[in-house]
Chains A and B, each alone.
Chain A
Amino acid sequence: MSSIPNNLKYASSHEWARDEGNGVYTVGITEHAQGLLGDMVFVELPEVGDSVNQGDDCAVAESVKAASDIYAPLSGEIVAVNDALADSPELVNSSPYEDGWMFKIKIADEAELSALLDAAGYKNSIDE
């Protein structure tokens, strides 16, 4: 049974988004997703300044097992990326909701939040 924090919003494609205030959201992948992917070996992140649309593939998580696209859960501008993942991609496995975060988006449209799931909705979607 994997952890699904109540304070986050989720995409059914297994990304989470955390409200940091001022319209900035931190994004990563869920504990369930990292478990499916297995040991992470590379994470390819977007560039700061990129603009992304909700649902765009904007990062790639490569595990020993497979390469997996990471989709932007919200539209906006990338304002930070987690540089620590370059040397320590395993942070996505060991700390998916904290040290293993991937990027931060300054969102363009709050209305898009309604398309995301809450913890209970995400839990249902992965049928755990």
Chain B
Amino acid sequence: MANQTALHGKHLEAGAKMVDFFGWDMPINYGSQIEEHHAVRRDAGMFDVSHMTIVDLKGANTRAFLRYLLANDVAKLTVPGKALYSGMLNEAGGVIDDLIVYFLQEDFFRLVVNSATREKDLAHISKEAAAFNVSVTERPEFAMIAVQGPNAKAKVATLLTAEQQAAVAGMKPFFGVQAGELFIATTGYTGEDGYEIALPNEQAADFWQKLLDAGVAPAGLGARDTLRLEAGMNLYGQDMDETVSPLAANMGWTIAWAPEERNFIGRSALEQQKAAGTDKLVGLVMEAKGVLRHGQRVVVDGGEGIITSGTFSPTLGFSIAMARVPASTGDSAEVDIRGKMVAVKVVKPAFVRMGKKVI
């Protein structure tokens, strides 16, 4: 029996097409994935992301623990509420998961990790936390709704109390705040403005309905994937995993090398990888007809790579992809599409942000 989120009934009510997503029965779309995609780029859409795993870390040594656990450095988090994106690496420098960490209080940080990696993440975090006397508590009693799009914040505001509105007023990107029963964060996975809101399971269906009534369109995992790919955001398990260096997954910016004396899990392996050189993750653009897909072979001067994520971009009207290719790759490549070699452009892996083409 697949897991169901607190919003399962709302999805069925809306006629969603449900699929198994790593043990969760989740909506892939509510009719047209492309229309849901456009709703997020042009207005406001919402996703049930309750399957994601919230983990609270508490204890006086939590910051020291996270500086050891994560490749990015939580020393950067000096203002309560501030969040950071990081890889969590193994000793070999492979990516166990990518996550967001929130600094709430000096003895209280919150992680949001992927659902597909829940068990191994919890096992790894708990094992490493023991030495730091940090408590690790999963929070399955929370549902999570991502409301994204240029009008997302304004539509959410119509549901908030005066106190909650005051709490989120002027909040910069990548912050989270507890406002009454809602944990409201200025994060997302679409390249648009908006919030990710965690709230008690028993309030989720009512809140979802109020968002619907406020004109927020429900969007499924299908649109979530095309939106994040247009935004150039990695998907764990596709664009990187335990066998892939973050340096080969466009995550170099998330590795805090300084200060040199900070020892974090995977550091020595990463230093060796950096010295030896790695593949790189690039964006591909194909304006001819057809669709680039995960797993297709990419041929470049002097080598070969692979498409890690590919799709048709509803915003751009042609196909885009992310591909892991040799570091020497220039500005063009060929992709083996069902036996036919097709020329593509190589770009930075980001295609659309805030509704605008960035390639």
Contact = CB atoms under 8 A, between A and B. Distances in A.
B291 A42 contact: yes
A62 interface: yes
A39 B32 contact: yes
A38 B221 CA distance: 12
Interface in A39-76: 39, 41-42, 44, 60, 62, 64-67
Contacts of A64: 33-34, 222, 226, 291, 311-312, 314
Given A41-B312, A67-B338, A62 B34 contact: no
A62 B286 CA distance: 14
Contacts, number: 37
- Classify chain B's interface size: 10 to 19
Nearest to A42: B289
A35 interface: yes
B293 interface: yes
A93 B141 CA distance: 39
A41 B28 CA distance: 17
Interface centre among A35, A39, A42, A90 (most CB of B within 10 A): A39
A49 B28 CA distance: 39
Contact of A93 (B17, B32, B293): B32
Contacts of B34: 39, 41, 64, 90
Contacts of B293: 66-67
Contacts of B33: 38-39, 64-65
A35 B291 contact: no
A62 B290 contact: yes
B29 interface: yes
B286 to A, nearest CB: 11
A56 to B, nearest CB: 15
B222 A38 contact: yes
- Classify chain A's interface size: 10 to 19
A65 B17 contact: no
A65 B291 CA distance: 10
B153 to A, nearest CB: 27
A82 B314 CA distance: 23
Contact of B222 (A60, A62, A65, A90): A65
Interface string B330-343: 00000000100000
A34 to B, nearest CB: 11
Interface string B291-302: 101000000000
A44 B289 contact: yes
A40 B139 CA distance: 39
Nearest to B35: A39
Interchain residue pairs A-B with the least CB separation, the first 6? A41-B312, A39-B34, A62-B291, A42-B289, A39-B33, A64-B33
19 contacts: A38-B29, A38-B222, A39-B33, A39-B34, A41-B291, A41-B312, A42-B289, A42-B291, A42-B312, A44-B289, A62-B290, A64-B34, A64-B222, A64-B291, A64-B314, A65-B33, A65-B222, A90-B34, A93-B32
